[in-house]
Chain A
């Protein structure tokens, strides 16, 4: 069976710091997989390696059987990456930004038009898409970026803290978009979050990471049952030895 993502014994070292220490996990196609853990656990580093941005020190990672090091350009055709602290080009309008990014995924004018219209609907920014990005609030910018990440229906969307820094309303909107999009277009999502409630709502499968290692993995309901916890936060506290 071909997995959307396969990560084997992944290690990443930044000088003296061991960011990831032998990570192993698999993401099934069409599912939402969440990496959860505190700040500095190694979630972002793992996502950056899978997104071909940085190289692992050891181990391997593949996206739909394409190695992220040797076949980086093939991997980039399949994925869409949304960094935690992403920005958009502030002197372009929302529309111009979506068109610019969309052109990398399709040369066909009709495809591009459909993509941008889709993104406009996902973002819910309507007429504000005609304004320059620099006039957007943080929430509006994040909605634009989520729309950009999903508009071309990537095989794998890698979303690092998709609701990072958003208020309740914007976060609710973004979570709804992700859930709907996966169900409708069969997109696989690999996301990271330190918001356990968000992960519980969104993910089919989760991996709890602490100090660069997976300390527990499974469906949220299974994990809660296994550790006799009422939510994932309690599960994490239990496995990380904080309880």
Chain B
């Protein structure tokens, strides 16, 4: 029934992957761009850390007492380069510092040590030196404030005989309840971990769908533009087989593009997180939040039918245009629809949305793999399966429409054009 399908799929993949626009724009660039961005961020972070160390902090000790010396010692033990300055008033400090490369100045005022000795609050002035060079300038003063806070906390502890119960008489121990079980993990840690998957998945799905739509539209429209379609339609091969061949070729080319992007993005993310210390290592599988094999299967099925629906839509629409540019332009209007579920579902649960918005989102097929991703996390397979049924029905209807266009002469005679017509010259 589908004789010749393999032949068409192989040809489609060759044609698409060898197309410089697809090869460069959708495979090479994402594979290189994201690691490059990651490297740039890594380089910028390292440079910033080194420059903070290189940029000295001035200290003016007007107190000359034991606690002022102790604070200075804590400063010296940190990564910061401290320079002792002599100044009597703020104006003089401002004049001396503006022309230097100092990022901050700490003034330990007179009475600092006696106040601490007498259990009174002792003030330390921290001046950030503003030169208009951007956010990096806040790093110096922030580092100084952190050191002062550390000094303050250790002083407080020593005053109460290292008894933390006096410092923090009551403190919340955060726990979570997951799938009816109490778990010793803070809700914020848990939500951060799960959120990474909530955000990553919708973005990944949206990008994959957009890639595929663009590739499918190119695949059909280039046949028209290059005048190969007429010949193809007179070959002894079913029109539905041609349609399926184009769908399959587009899925494979899009998957290669998505893989390149995932590899690139993975490197980018690892570059971003390299400087962040791991605060809590939580095994999601232990608390029942990691997807199981059936969950992956359901999620995969949901993603697959959504992808097919997007491809069928792209093929149906692009078969009515007359060239690649028009096809990509008309398919571009549908990208907006793929963004809607991503934007709404990234931060909000569908159950708390107003009914009208919920219905609009549910009508969009690309919502369902995102809902399925959440549903299978919590073991709610019914939602995921219902979504798959809806998207399958949507896909079949779209495929039927695409097949109708392919089997009639409309595929040759319809010429939707999305380019500005040249104005006619007046004779």
Contact = CB atoms under 8 A, between A and B. Distances in A.
A91 B74 CA distance: 68
B226 interface: yes
Contacts of A86: 227-228, 230-231
Interface in B381-425: 409, 412-413
A73 interface: yes
Interface residues of B, number: 22
Given A89-B15, A91-B19, A53 B236 contact: no
Interface string A65-98: 0000000010011011111011111111000100
A15 B13 CA distance: 38
B11 A89 contact: yes
B234 A51 contact: yes
A239 interface: no
B238 interface: yes
A91 B409 contact: no
A79 B234 contact: yes
A5 to B, nearest CB: 14
B84 interface: no
Interface in A85-132: 85-92, 96, 100-101, 103-105, 132
B412 A53 contact: yes
B233 interface: yes
A51 B231 CA distance: 9
B232 to A, nearest CB: 9
Interface in A3-58: 14, 48, 51-55
Interface residues of A, number: 32
B307 to A, nearest CB: 24
Contacts of B285: none
B237 interface: yes
B15 A104 contact: no
A87 B232 CA distance: 11
A114 B18 CA distance: 27
Contact of B237 (A53, A87, A104): A104
Nearest to A107: B3
Contact of B7 (A48, A54, A82, A103): A103
A43 B279 CA distance: 77
B90 interface: no
B231 A90 contact: no
A41 B10 CA distance: 39
Contacts of B412: 48, 53-54
Interface of A: 14, 48, 51-55, 73, 76-77, 79-83, 85-92, 96, 100-101, 103-105, 132, 145, 148
Interface of B: 4, 7, 10-11, 14-15, 18-19, 226-228, 230-231, 233-238, 409, 412-413
